[in-house]
Amino acid sequence: MDAILSIKPQFVEEIVAGRKKYEFRKKGFKKPVQKVYVYATTPVCKIIGEFELGCILEGKPNKIWALTNKLSGITEEYFKEYYSNKDIAYALEIKSFKFYKKPINPYLAFGKFTPPQSFCYVSRDFLI
């Protein structure tokens, strides 16, 4: 099983530059995921690359921040605001990121496409 993650363009830039090695989520995957496709949100609105999913860290936000902050690609202030009033944080390890030379416009490639609010599952052959 694979997934598409919606990620804001400023964080996509940090991933592409190699400074962001963890993507943070408020909810974890319920199904096993191997590959993640990165959908850059407005104004880009394209699938810009993919990565192999490494480990998924789960725990109290302050613990997750202590483990990931040097490779987070975000500020501590942003992290704390994102997880305010949350008891559990999820950090998805970004391994082997591959940037597409030609980003995929999902609206043209797939016709009926709705960007996921956070993520959605896709079959392994979804790009074929």
SS percent in the chain: helix, strand, coil, step 5 = 25, 40, 40
Mean pLDDT to the nearest integer, 114-120 = 91
**Which amino acid type is present at position 23?**
E
pTM of the model: 0.92
Q: Which of 55, 68, 65 is nearest to 28 (CA)?
A: 55
pLDDT at 107 over 60: yes
The pLDDT, as a whole number, for residue 123 is 80
The pLDDT, as a whole number, for residue 127 is 67
pLDDT at 128 over 60: no
The larger pLDDT score, comparing residue 70 to residue 128, is at 70
**Which amino acid type is present at position 96?**
S
Q: What pLDDT digit, counting tens, does each position of 45-90 carry?
A: 999 999 999 999 999 999 999 999 999 999 999 999 999 999 999 9
Residue ranges of domains in the chain, CATH in brackets: 2-122 (2.30.130.30)
